[in-house]
């Protein structure tokens, strides 16, 4: 498959935009090290960069990692999301364990109350204003 002249021109613009972004000399974008900024800087539609020039997108991320010694912004966002989700899972596991312990305690309390229901309870004192809920036998 041969590269059409337009695609060759796009590739050249993308490579030049990549150099400008990595040297901090952006002229058509906000200068962030993202695919969106690269597409804007190269005056190429972002989906064209993602689909037709996926190799250049990969090259851009490799250069960001190697030349700036930092992870691309998308990777940082994903890492932050993973960290938040791991904390959420940890908190939920703790809450589940507490709920299991509470279920155990409530089950034991219900068993005790059920057992006590079989034996009559004799009041220690009979104040005049207390009415028993079930008749004493």
The domain limits of the chain are 5-70, 74-116
pLDDT at 76: 83
pLDDT at 126: 58
pLDDT at 67: 85
- Which residues have C-beta within 8 Å of that of residue 21, sequence separation ≥ 6? 29, 31, 33, 37, 38, 41, 60
pLDDT at 72: 75
Low-confidence ranges of the chain (pLDDT < 50): 1-3
pLDDT at 112: 87
């Amino acid at each position: 498959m041969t590269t059409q002249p337009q695609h060759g021109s796009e590739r050249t613009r993308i490579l030049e935009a990549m150099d400008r972004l990595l040297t901090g000399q952006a002229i058509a974008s906000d200068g962030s090290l993202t695919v969106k900024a690269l597409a804007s800087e190269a005056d190429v539609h972002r989906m064209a960069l993602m689909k037709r020039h996926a190799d250049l997108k990969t090259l851009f991320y490799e250069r960001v990692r190697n030349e700036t010694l930092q992870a691309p912004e998308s990777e940082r966002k994903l890492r932050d999301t993973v960290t938040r989700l791991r904390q959420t899972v940890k908190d939920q596991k703790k809450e589940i364990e507490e709920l299991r312990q509470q279920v155990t305690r409530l089950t034991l309390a219900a068993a005790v109350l059920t057992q006590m229901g079989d034996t009559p309870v004799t009041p220690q004192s009979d104040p005049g204003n207390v009415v028993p809920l079930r008749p004493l036998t």
